[in-house]
């Protein structure tokens, strides 16, 4: 209402002017307020009446079309992220939006509204499928800031129910080809209590979608694809429809190449340095061989920390074991060389003593010329070649001087028949060729077999 002008102390003309201006201001303000119009509550009232009528005689303990036909449930999955994958625990983590769609004739309604989008309070008041994940170890539903659930009901009785889940599921890894292995990690779900005669799950045409893979935490794996299947599981309680989504993963071996393969190869190559060290340098060659053996033992122990305690041999175990054999063989090569060369010299001195002339015989002071490869050395004391054994009794023109030892068979030529003679003093020279060649052949066969076969 307009305010009264209670200013009797002012002169009447001035008072009338002020009162008129005040009344005009108040009426203008009231005219502005009159433009606000309340919206009708027809849609809100209609939605409330629809829900009340739907839930009035609704029994959420009974599935739709019970006793008439099975309930068909269409499933959609949106993969938000995958990872990390635990090799030791043989499990992986996946974050999904899980959607189920079915028809419930009891929820049909006639209205101008085509669909009702409801909150989580309505979920417990209608029937929903009892879906569970068979290979899950732990599963969490997100509740921040409100429960991440959606319920939508269409006027033809179609119901959509979605929720966000984080699941830690089992993934049985076959590690024979580790770390060049590929795996298929499944996500298996079905109805907990309803057999196939009552609930049937179905995949849609594009039932599974994935998000941007750059946000996934697959540190050691690459996502190569997925596939969905359905099968019937026969149990003592009945036949159940089981749905499976398989995620194909391929391991990246860059980490293991840096941590295991390259150090093992360098350790094996380092063990070959002893072949170029003089054989009389026992401390140097022994310390180098023991150091490489201990290094390979440490690398073998570290490589097993990334794996569960499986009883079979993996590809990495095979590689590390062969590298250990090469390193240990390099150490044993020097031990063999040192033993055989050290035990051969006393035998030569004993042969020399046996060839002394008998007492009373006339002894002439002479020198013996040794002809090796048509080169004369005179006198024999001037030759200091470490690769040729002193006092070799090989005859002129015989090839046995290049082999393991010179025995009496060399004089008659019988050493050729089914026997191989190796010159013991040249064992290091043979090892310089044999060890790198054998290790190179092993690597060629190893990488071709595991990467391409």
Q: Is the pTM of this model over 0.75?
A: no
Query: How far is residue 97's CA from residue 118's CA, in Å, rounded to a whole number?
Result: 17
Of 102-106, 143-147, 243-247, 324-328, the least confident: 143-147
Q: What is the mean pLDDT of residues 221-233?
A: 94
Which is nearest to 198 in space by CA: 100, 70, 315, 381?
70
Given a contact cutoff of 8 angstroms between Cβ atoms, the answer to whether 450 and 256 are in contact is no
Percent of the chain with pLDDT over 70: 72
C-alpha to C-alpha distance for 420 and 402, rounded to whole angstroms: 11
The confidence score (pLDDT) of residue 170 equals: 96
Q: Can you give the pLDDT at residue 395?
A: 47
CA 76/CA 201 separation, integer angstroms: 11
What is residue 362's predicted lDDT score, i.e. its pLDDT? 53
User: Does 240 have pLDDT greater than 60?
Assistant: yes
Residues 210, 76: contact at Cβ < 8 Å?
no
Token duo for residue 402? 């290049």
pLDDT digits (tens, 9 = 90+) for 28-49: 444 444 444 444 555 667 888 8
CA angle 417, 420, 421 (to 5 degrees): 120
pLDDT tens digits, residue range 270-287?
Answer: 999 999 998 888 899 999
Mean pLDDT of 120-130: 92
The residue whose two tokens read 């004993």 is 350
Nearest to 191 by CA among 240, 153, 224, 125: 240
Determine which of 40-44, 143-147, 360-364, 435-439 has the lowest per-residue pLDDT on average.
360-364
Confidence (pLDDT) at 406: 46
Provide the token pair at 396. Answer: 């002129």
Distance CA 361, CA 324 (A): 60
């Amino acid at each position: 209402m307009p305010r009264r002008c209670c200013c009797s102390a002012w002169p009447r003309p001035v008072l009338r002017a002020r009162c008129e201006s005040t009344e005009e201001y108040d009426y203008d303000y009231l005219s502005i307020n009159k433009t606000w119009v309340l919206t009708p509550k027809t849609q809100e009232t209609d939605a409330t009446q629809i829900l009340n009528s739907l839930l009035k005689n609704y029994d959420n303990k009974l599935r739709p079309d019970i006793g008439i036909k099975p309930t068909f449930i269409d499933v959609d999955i949106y993969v938000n992220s995958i990872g990390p994958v635990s090799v030791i625990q043989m499990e992986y983590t996946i974050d999904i939006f899980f959607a189920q769609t079915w028809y419930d004739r009891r929820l049909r309604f006639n209205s101008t509204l085509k669909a009702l989008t409801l909150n989580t309070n309505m979920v417990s008041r209608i029937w929903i499928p009892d879906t569970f994940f068979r290979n899950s170890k732990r599963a969490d539903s997100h509740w921040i800031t409100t429960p991440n659930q959606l319920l939508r009901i269409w006027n033809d009785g179609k119901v959509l129910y979605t929720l966000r889940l984080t699941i830690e599921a089992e993934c049985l890894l076959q590690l024979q080809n580790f770390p060049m292995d590929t795996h298929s990690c499944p996500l298996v779900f079905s109805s907990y209590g309803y057999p196939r005669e009552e609930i049937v799950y179905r995949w849609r045409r594009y039932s599974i979608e994935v998000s941007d893979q750059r946000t996934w935490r697959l540190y050691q794996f690459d996502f190569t694809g997925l596939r969905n299947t359905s099968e019937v599981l026969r149990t003592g309680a009945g036949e159940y429809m089981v749905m499976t989504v398989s995620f194909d993963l391929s391991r990246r071996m860059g980490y293991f190449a840096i941590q295991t393969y390259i150090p093992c190869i360098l350790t094996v190559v380092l063990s070959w340095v002893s072949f170029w060290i003089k054989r009389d340098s026992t401390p140097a060659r022994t310390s180098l061989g023991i150091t490489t053996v201990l290094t390979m033992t440490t690398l073998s122990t570290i490589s097993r920390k990334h794996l569960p305690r499986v009883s079979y041999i993996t590809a990495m175990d095979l590689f590390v074991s062969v590298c250990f054999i090469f390193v240990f063989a390099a150490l044993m090569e020097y031990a063999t060389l040192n033993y055989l060369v050290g035990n051969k010299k006393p035998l030569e001195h004993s042969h020399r003593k046996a060839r002394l002339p008998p007492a009373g015989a006339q002894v002439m002071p002479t020198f013996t010329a040794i002809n090796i490869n048509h080169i004369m050395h005179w006198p024999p004391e001037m030759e200091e070649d470490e690769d040729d054994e002193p006092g070799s009794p090989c005859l002129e023109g015989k090839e046995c001087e290049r082999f393991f030892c010179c025995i009496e068979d060399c004089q008659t030529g019988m050493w050729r028949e089914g026997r191989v003679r190796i010159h013991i003093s040249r064992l290091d020279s043979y090892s310089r060729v044999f060890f790198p060649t054998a290790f190179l052949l092993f690597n060629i066969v190893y990488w071709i077999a595991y990467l391409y076969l």
